[in-house]
Amino acid sequence: MAKLKLGMYWAATCGGCDVSVLDTHERLLKIVEAADIYFWPIAMDFKYKDVEAMEDGFLDVCLFNGAIRNSENEHLAKLLRKKSKVMVAYGACAAFGGIPALANFTTREKILEKAYKTTVSTDNPQGVYPQPSTKMPEGEITIPEFYNHVYKLSDIVPVEYTIPGCPPPADLLMTAVEAIVTGKLPPAGSTIAGEKTLCDECPLEKSEKPVINDIKRPFQVIPDGKKCLLEQGLICMGPATRSGCGAACIKVNMPCRGCFGPAKDIKDQGAKMLSALASIVKFDDEQKADQIINSMVDATGTLYRFGGANAILSPRRTEGEKP
């Protein structure tokens, strides 16, 4: 059998997804045995023109990680889509917007102002902002355009599979590679992870009737390692988050942050987590829900930590609508 042609690209991302490939350790040899890598900018020297030169559909699989935050990300997403038979949204950013999509809760202007004007270390007396195009005596130079909104990959191009996670665990990558190699692919549109939510994999004990009284941040409490973190007052996104990671964070006493996105039939992970929280707040007290939500530092960011490009409502904050 001919070796698979593999591409991997990073758009708006931290690089953790690329590194996650190395988490496969010695199993990496299996991947290399089954596939040749034709494009992987973080690991090897490739030029965009190498991709442009490929025939359409040349790559068997493209693992695309990172959100779409600027015109370069979009260009590459479209280009790689054309060149790939199977497009995989690899990691939380490509799948749901991820951490970069937290920017959707503010505006482009505010981000630029912060980055180029107001941080302590900024020295920009003329208030120059980077421009997509600058005319110079030598000619026009361009940089990618910084969008007002961060998109998930499937907002831009059709995507066959999603492998969620921040980053995806090596086991899931191996499952996917195995499926590709053996041709036993699930139906297009599938997410390669669990069907249930994280509580299914969670080793902690839950009470018969979970109830919470107040919210704590992870640094305020040393979890006892036995009881459900939510019941200990920590916002654990487990009930609203797809399983498949093996409860990695829980096992080191950290609450789930939701990087696997919503469960199969759920449209909005944040809204669902909010509804779940609201349902276990002691509810004989009308003030309690307000107290809980007010005690959450950045409630929206917590509930939509990875889902900023995957919510029912586009989270873009629009100036003019009263806060």
As measured in angstroms, the least distance from the Cβ of 254 to other proteins is: 18
Stretch that binds other proteins, among 7-15, 122-130, 157-165, 198-206 (CB under 8 A): 198-206
Stretch that binds other proteins, among 13-21, 81-89, 112-120, 193-201 (CB under 8 A): 193-201
Minimum CB distance to other proteins smaller for 87 or for 95? 95
Cα(300)–Cα(278) distance, integer angstroms: 14
Q: Which amino acid is located at 198 in the chain?
A: L
Is residue 183 close enough to count as binding other proteins by CB under 8 A? no
From candidates 243, 244, 245, 261, binder to other proteins by CB under 8 A: 243
Answer for the pair 263, 237: CB distance below 8 angstroms, yes or no.
no
Stretch that binds other proteins, among 49-57, 131-139, 165-173, 314-322 (CB under 8 A): 314-322
Is residue 273 close enough to count as binding other proteins by CB under 8 A? yes
Cα(300)–Cα(288) distance, integer angstroms: 18
As measured in angstroms, the least distance from the Cβ of 198 to other proteins is: 7
β 4-10/84-90 pair status: unpaired
As measured in angstroms, the least distance from the Cβ of 159 to other proteins is: 21
Answer for the pair 92, 165: CB distance below 8 angstroms, yes or no.
yes
- Residues in Cβ contact with 244 at an 8 Å cutoff, skipping those fewer than 6 apart: 164, 165, 169, 172, 192, 193, 194, 201, 260
Give whole-number Cα distances, 62 to 20, 76, 84, in Å. 15, 11, 6
Cα(32)–Cα(37) distance, integer angstroms: 8
As measured in angstroms, the least distance from the Cβ of 310 to other proteins is: 12
From candidates 45, 55, 140, 321, binder to other proteins by CB under 8 A: 321
β 139-142/133-136 pair status: antiparallel
Is residue 200 close enough to count as binding other proteins by CB under 8 A? yes
DSSP tally for the chain: helices H, then strands E = 12, 9
As measured in angstroms, the least distance from the Cβ of 305 to other proteins is: 13
From candidates 173, 229, 292, 309, binder to other proteins by CB under 8 A: 292
Is residue 1 close enough to count as binding other proteins by CB under 8 A? no
Judged by the rule CB under 8 A, the positions of this chain that interact with other proteins are 105, 195-201, 206-211, 238-240, 243, 263-268, 270-281, 283-284, 286, 288-290, 292-294, 299-300, 303, 311-323
